[in-house]
């Protein structure tokens, strides 16, 4: 197994990191933002007393592989403790299972078809320059807004949204390593966790908290943690929490029966020198190592969450700080015989979401309500008493925070596109998914919105989504109903809530 040398071993890399951290101490001064969208309601006076702070923790590629979600072996005591102190959402879903579109949807409150962000190339500033992002809303309301680590896919996206935006040390270090000619591996033990980029990013956030506690200004602090995104590199101490034998096997390792051949893809994992030689079939020993590495990386992320929560308490900020923790999408670890996200499969769109809102959420509560990450923006706006833009496409979850077992959305919506080279002569297609409490339905449509193929999985009978039932006569009625919901879109489903 590869062993990672200390990340700051070279003078050039250490100098680069320290210089960037130093120049960022005062933060990147955000340029004046564009005029607020006309839909936006007036904000309260800056610095209004009694406003709750926000700690917003974004974790890349995090599945619900946490103890609080019932994972049999995950060592995640800090995220579990957060869940026990707040509300755990059991049915939370992203709009698209890839970093850029997923994060853009949450931060703008707008779905991929509205922003046009469906790939990793397009930043929010370019796609929807007039959108009032989540942090812009809080900044305009007098909050200090602070960003650390990976927030958007593009580090420099939406500068108007930040009072301080520190460099993402993951990108800094990787850039320097490329200059040094060092190839990154897919999975490795790190000798010293303190030199890992995620640790450096979190330490920068921790340095800011005492100043915020002293100032008394309301703040919105966003902390983006890269792991467990590839490469699966984490401290040896986190690897040592597990053995290969204690890591669960993948679900449905033989692949889905009856699914369109383009429904699932696997290319992300093959971009590393220690996996590329095996393409397209991962040998068992490497598969075991990758699954082990993923779970170790989850525990590493949990360690960092623990540091943030401990610092919040130490600074006396925990009683007036709303904490949101979410994963930006899932990831297949040999599940369905694939290694990636990039699909509408349940394992890719289903995420952990935990909210602790003092005075609103009750400790140790859970909700089976179907919620979407586009709902987080209006929820935080309402909790802070801010007037959110009226064009947001999510729905405030405050009623669910107050009554976790209440009736809510009938479905969540997600999507993913496939280019013409993958669809066997059908041209470019988009898979639009409807996820209800029982079914996951995906209609694959062409550029003319014509239905080309469909997928239907009965999660009650087949929770691993092993067999596509779209053409099964026994599911004809369910398929037709869900296709009608897909064609109707998310608006009617949102509007029916509360009726």
Q: Is 153 designated active site?
A: yes
Q: How many C-beta neighbours within 10 Å does residue 458 have?
A: 17
Cα–Cα distance between 140 and 218 in angstroms, integer? Answer: 12
Q: 249 and 76 in contact (C-beta within 8 Å)? A: no
Output DSSP code: residue 270. Answer: G
Q: 409 near 371, Cβ under 8 Å?
A: yes
Strand order in the sheet with 429-435: 412-418, 429-435, 439-445, 451-458
- Please say if 99 is a catalytic residue: yes
Selecting among 17, 71, 153, 226, the annotated active-site residue is: 153
Coil/strand/helix, residue 423: coil
How many other C-beta atoms lie within 10 A of the C-beta of residue 40? Answer: 18
DSSP per-residue letters across 188-231: EEES-GGGSHHHHHHHHHHHHHHHHHHH---EEEEEEE-TTSSS
The span from the CA of 85 to the CA of 209, in Å, is: 21
Six token digits for residue 98? 């890839």
DSSP per position, 15-61: HHHHHHHHHTTT--PPPPPPPPPTTPPPPPPTT-TTPPEEEEEEETT
Catalytic residue among 99, 226, 329, 342: 99
User: Cα separation of 46 and 21, whole Å?
Assistant: 28
Strand, coil or helix: 455: strand
Active site residues: 99, 153
């Amino acid at each position: 197994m590869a062993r990672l040398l200390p990340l700051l071993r070279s003078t050039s890399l250490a100098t680069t990191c320290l210089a960037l951290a130093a120049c960022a101490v005062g933060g990147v001064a955000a340029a004046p933002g564009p005029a607020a969208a006309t839909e936006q309601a007036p904000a309260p006076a800056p610095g209004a007393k009694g406003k709750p702070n926000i700690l917003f923790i974004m974790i890349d590629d995090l599945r619900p592989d946490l103890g609080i979600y019932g994972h049999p072996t995950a060592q995640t005591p800090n995220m579990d403790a957060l869940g026990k102190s707040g509300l755990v959402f059991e049915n939370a879903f992203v709009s698209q299972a890839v970093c850029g579109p997923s994060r853009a949807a949450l931060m703008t409150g707008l779905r991929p078809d509205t922003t046009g962000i469906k790939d990793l190339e397009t930043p929010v500033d370019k796609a929807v320059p007039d959108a009032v992002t989540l942090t812009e809303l809080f900044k305009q309301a007098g909050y200090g807004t602070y960003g650390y680590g990976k927030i958007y896919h593009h580090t420099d996206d939406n500068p108007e949204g930040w009072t301080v935006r520190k460099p993402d040390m993951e990108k800094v270090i990787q850039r320097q390593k490329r200059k040094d000619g060092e190839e990154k591996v897919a999975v490795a033990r790190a000798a010293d966790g303190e030199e890992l980029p995620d640790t450096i990013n979190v330490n920068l956030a921790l340095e800011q908290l005492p100043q915020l506690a002293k100032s008394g200004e309301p703040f919105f602090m966003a902390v983006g943690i890269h792991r467990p995104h590839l490469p699966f590199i984490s401290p040896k101490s986190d690897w040592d929490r597990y053995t290969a034998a204690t890591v669960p096997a993948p679900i449905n390792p033989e692949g889905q029966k009856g699914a369109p051949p383009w429904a699932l893809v696997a290319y992300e994992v093959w971009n590393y020198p220690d996996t590329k030689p095996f393409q397209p079939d991962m040998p068992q020993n490497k598969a075991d190592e990758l699954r082990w590495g993923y779970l170790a990386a989850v525990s590493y992320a949990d360690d960092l969450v623990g540091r943030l929560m401990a610092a919040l308490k130490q600074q006396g900020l925990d009683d007036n700080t709303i904490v949101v923790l979410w994963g930006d999408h899932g990831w297949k670890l040999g599940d369905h015989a694939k290694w990636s996200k990039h699909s509408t499969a349940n394992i890719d769109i289903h995420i952990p979401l935990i909210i602790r809102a003092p005075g609103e959420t009750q400790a140790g509560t859970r909700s089976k309500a179907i919620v979407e990450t586009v709902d987080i923006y209006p929820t935080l706006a309402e909790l802070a008493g801010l007037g959110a833009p009226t064009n947001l496409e999510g729905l405030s979850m405050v009623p669910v925070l107050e009554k976790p077992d209440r009736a809510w959305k009938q479905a969540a919506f997600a999507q993913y596109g496939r280019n013409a080279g993958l669809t066997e002569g059908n041209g470019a297609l988009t898979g639009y998914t409807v996820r209800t409490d029982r079914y996951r339905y995906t209609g694959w449509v062409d550029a003319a919105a014509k239905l080309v193929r469909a997928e239907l999985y009965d999660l009650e009978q087949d929770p691993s989504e092993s067999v596509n039932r779209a053409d099964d006569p026994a599911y004809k009625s369910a398929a037709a109903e869900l296709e009608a919901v897909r064609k109707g879109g998310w608006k009617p489903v949102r509007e029916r809530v509360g009726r």
